[in-house]
Every structure is written in C-alpha cells, then in structure tokens.
Amino acid sequence: MSVLVGKKAPLFEATAVVNGGEFVEKFSLEQYIGKKHVVFFFYPLDFTFVCPTEILAFQQKMEEFDKRNVAVVGCSVDSQFSHWAWLNTEVKDGGIKGVKFPLVADLSKTISENFDVLAGEYDYNEDGEMEFEGEAVAYRGLFLIDKQGVVRHQLVNDLPLGRSVAEAIRMIDALQYFEENGEVCPADWHAGDEAMSATADGVASYLGKKYE
C-alpha cells in the first residue's frame, strides 16, 4: 500500500455525476487547486450496504464542509450510468437520492490503482495470461488534499469497515489550524482545543498542563 502523504495527488480525468444527475466529462481535481481543500474518498460499489451509509453521512455534513471551503468528491469502479441510477433511487429503496457532491466513475480502475486502493491486482497465471486476483473494487480510501494538490492525510479501511465523517472533519480542522497558525495539533485535538508550538518548550508546556 503506497503512502501518498506529502506527495502530489495523482492526476486524472474521468466522467463524474454532479448535482445529483448531471454528467461532467473530463472531471478533475485540478479544478480545486489554489481554491479549495479536497476530501477525495473511494468506496467499493454502488447499490451495496455500507457504502450508502457513508455517502449519505457525507451529504448530511455538507454544510460543515462548505463552511470550511472543502470540496467532497467520491469515487468507485462503477460507471457514470450506475452512479446516475443510484443517485436517482430513493433512500428507502437503497438509493442515495439527495446527494449533490460529485461521484467519479472509475470503470477502468486506473484511478483506484494510482491511489493504490484497489483490493486486488493484475498478475500472470501459469499460462502467461493476465488475470485479476482479489476483488476488483476499491478499499474505503480517503485522502485529504490541500490547496496545492498535496495529500496531507490518508486513511484506508477494509471493505466491511465504514469510516467516520466526524474524523474527516476533525482532520480538516487540524490541517487548516496548522496552516493558519503554524501550531501543531496533539492527540485527539478538536477545533477550540489548545494546540502547541513545535518546540521543546512548547511540547513541555502542553504536556505539563495536560498530563500532570
């Protein structure tokens, strides 16, 4: 599994469904560089079980992302037509109707491969034929990308394990606090908590207040 933290997020152009039903060809995260932080997350498949709980949870918190000037973008190995159908299926019927943030179609699986979240890989069998080993879907990867297009946080869960949207927001708050104030954020830091300067005296002062 690649660690992309500190590196430029892989570039791509793909079709996405935005605003709950509009097709956008050549969708790219480059449109956000210099303008917004981005939470780019992968999920295994449309019309499944854990996935809609995550996607709907992100949508429910869109006001929180918007006020932090953060774009949320989802991606799976489904086609844009599958995304569209799911986005137009009522929640009570297993759909995600009402979701407005972009869902990227990675039918070729190249985006998942480039972010190294594909739950399997291509290899050659004994006959020299290429075949896919494992599950041809994406793990639950999440990447927090700054305005320069650099990955600052990444999290990858196995297929059965849903993510915490609250934790994604906490990491955004921590990154933005550091960018604005230059202070680092200790364990379990939340917006409004005390941070600390990245110096020996700063750490000693913080630890003395917190743990003594």
Q: Which residues are catalytic?
A: 51
- The phi and psi torsions of 29 (rounded to 5 degrees) equal -75, -15
What is the Cα–Cα distance from 3 to 7, expressed in whole angstroms? 9
User: What are the start-end ranges of the E strands in the chain?
Assistant: 14-18, 22-27, 37-42, 70-76, 103-105, 118-124, 130-138, 140-145, 151-157
Residue 5, token pair as written in the block: 């933290």
The region that residue 19 occupies, defined by phi over 0 for left and psi between -120 and 50 for alpha, beta otherwise, is left
CA nearest to 94, candidates 132, 53, 126, 123: 53
Neighbour tally for 39: CB within 10 Å: 24
